[in-house]
Amino acid sequence: MVFLQLIRIRSKDGNFRFEFQPTADISELLSKVLETSPDADPSTVTISNQPRGNEVPVSTLEGRNLQALGLKHGDLLFVGYQTKAAPEASTTSTSAAVDSGSQDTSKRPWDAVEEDPVDRYWRSQEGKIPRGRDSRFCKHGANAMCDYCMPLEPYDAAYHTEHNIKHLSYHAYIRKLTPKASSSASVTSLLPPLNPLSYKVKTPCPTGGHPPWPAGICTACQPSAITLQSQPFRMIDHLEIASPEIVDRFLEAWRRTGVQRFGWLIGHYEPYPDVPMGIKAVVEAIHEPPQEGEVDGLTLGVPWEDEPRIRALAAQSSTPLQIVGYIFTDLEPTEEDRSKLKYKRHPQSFFLSSLEVIFAATVQNANPTPSRSSFTGKFGSRMVTAVLTGTEEGGIDVSAYQVSEQACAMVDADMIEASVDPGIMRVKEEDREEGSARYVPDVFFRYKNEYGLDVQKNAKPCFPVEYLLVNVTHGFPQNPSPLFRSIKYKIENRPGLEDQSTEDVLRQLAQLEAYDIPESSQGGDLQKRQVLARFISDWHLIAFLGTTGLISENDLRILMRAATVPNIESPTVLDELLRTEGWLTLMTFAQEVAPKRPSSSGLPSSSHAPMDTDIPPEVFDQIAREEAAQGSRSANVRVCPHCTFENTHGGSDCEVCGLPL
């Protein structure tokens, strides 16, 4: 008797049941699906054991049977597909379809957004928090599940409280706001749950009943009152610096000069497992822009002139990099002990000053995060603010923050300004003058008074900065494996302290004898090859070589990839670079800078042709005569062993000191 197993199919066309033999081919299942969905494109059909995520194209399972795929009696499969393209009836209908498609794209800008790889990763994952079997309450078997061991949602409040997680991650917050999709509705048909904050007056007014601001205003176009509150989520959950040496190298300028420094954090984003659906920023290098440091601050230009080149260069890495934030120092030695630092930033003073909060909001507004969960296609920012400041024990530590979406919206609306007190933010006055019009709605904040009661207070004219901050954890990996293996080359924009020059690069390449390193197929010293590979794996060196004009953009791209490959110890890692014209040009100049090797004989070998064939023979004869005359003169000179005077006479005593030669 042949046993038939029941397979359930659920698609947007409904629920279906089919019977198959366990050895039936996957093509039989596909034919049944196409019978229930005549408009489906066979090449786009996917199956999954979950309503969302883990979709596998059926075309990749060709030749496998149901039993080999692990399908059992009663299993439920979720089927997805794309409909076939309708045939073109006429030129008019085609143009109409194009017009309607462009209108749909303009009405739904979030559909065309290209998100970061880490966002695409979390959208493809279930994201739930797994739990093990509870020995006290679970009474079921190993393959069963109950309320005490079933996975939790990534936004579960009890889990966050138990693990001391203050903020929801960005994707956990999206999951919390997104309604559950029914079996008959596709996820793409849902509206985005996020809408960026805006405290600006809507111009023109949606009602169209009055002149635009500042000539007129109504309840339809004016922003609502603002109540400052702690942000429940954060765009970035953790800041990880790939190696402690990166920070030490950045601190060298302050240690040698005593003035503060600023740098942009170059890195990438990765999933952060310690927070449900979390994201961390991994810093691989610190690029220092032009700046003027002072003992108590610094002057900086934003954006700086070299920013587009640096962003393009970072994106060429084997792991594409970008600017993930910035870091600055706020260090001041104590008067009693110059080896210890003042503890300036603490709960009784401030964490970020009001001016620093406005700068952070400006940077975050200029670097929004692409998001398919926002009506505008952009939401928030992942730019991190890191501060190197003194600790309570007198050491140095990193503190990381972001500012809230309310802070970014208030800066965008020109509503707030810095105050003399670093822990206090001022609210600007309303201005109705043409050209500088500013509408400031009512701003409130809540706090607990001395009696423990929750009190609401007007934020005008000022309020504490802490209402605009979002804490970000930070740390270093236990086993550092930075993308750039070297940080020894001179850092940019440190005039008088570390001056970069082409001659210095050529001299270091000559010391490594880089011009004698061939491709791996031609043999050579493996140790020299690895030393050279580590030497070029330096962000500051690569960034400087891009300004010399000796290496083209394409060759610089190859250099960047070779410097950031994971297996830098491989013998073939430099092969592509060694064939580029830019590298050959560098090696030509490096060979000229290298010290000349002593020849084994005084006369040139007859097997080597002269390199300078264009020089007339009489020039060589003149050089030879001058060298011969100089040699004869040097042969008659006797150096006094007492005063080192060069005596040319034939006597036995020195002409200067009179002592015997």
Each residue of 18-65: pLDDT tens digit? 888 888 888 888 888 888 888 888 888 888 887 766 778 888 888 788
Summarize pLDDT for 584-635 with one digit per residue, the tens. Answer: 999 999 988 876 655 444 444 444 444 444 556 665 566 656 655 555 455 5
Residue 604: per-residue pLDDT = 47
Per-residue model confidence as pLDDT tens digits over 398-411: 999 999 999 999 99
10 Å Cβ neighbour count for 109?
15
The answer on pLDDT for 249 being more than 80 is yes
Structure tokens at 190: 């849902």
- In this prediction, residues 188-210 reach a mean pLDDT of 82
The pLDDT value given to residue 606: 42
The pLDDT score that the predictor gives to residue 323 is 97
Q: Compute the half-sphere exposure of residue 304: CA atoms within 13 Å on the CB side of its CA.
A: 17
Least confident among 71-85, 94-108, 164-178: 94-108
Q: Tell whether the model's pLDDT for residue 539 goes beyond 50.
A: yes
Angstrom distance (rounded) from CA 202 to CA 222: 7
> Can you give the pLDDT at residue 248?
95
pLDDT score for 161: 94
Q: Residue 279: name the closest of 127, 408, 159 by CA.
A: 127
Instruction: Give the pLDDT score at 619.
Output: 57
Distance in Å from the first CA to the final CA of the chain: 121
Check: CB of residue 444 under 8 Å from CB of residue 457. Answer: yes
Percent of the chain with pLDDT over 90: 54
What's the mean pLDDT in 638-648? 76
Mean pLDDT along residues 366-394: 94
Whole-angstrom CA distances from 303 to 177, 189, 360 are 35, 39, 13
* Summary mean pLDDT of the chain: 86
Q: What is the pLDDT of residues 442-473, one digit of tens each?
A: 999 988 888 888 889 999 899 999 999 999 99
Number of other CB atoms surrounding residue 304 within 10 Å: 15
Lowest mean pLDDT among 71-85, 468-482, 558-572, 609-623: 609-623
Q: Please state, in angstroms and rounded to a whole number, the distance separating the CA atoms of residues 52 and 127.
A: 11
**pLDDT above 90: residue 485:** yes
Question: In this structure, are residues 16 and 31 in contact, taking their beta carbons and an 8 Å threshold?
Answer: no
475 vs 85, higher pLDDT? 475
Residue that wins the pLDDT comparison between 57 and 249: 249
Q: What mean pLDDT is predicted for residues 366-390?
A: 94
pLDDT over 60 at 104, yes or no: no
CA-nearest of 482, 483, 545 to 508 is 545
pTM, to two decimals: 0.74
Q: What is the pLDDT of residue 173?
A: 95
User: Which amino acid belongs to residue 141?
Assistant: G
pLDDT at 435: 79
| Better-scored residue on pLDDT, 30 or 102 | 30
Range 82-108 average pLDDT: 52
Please tell me the predicted confidence (pLDDT) of residue 624: 58
Confidence (pLDDT) at 87? 52
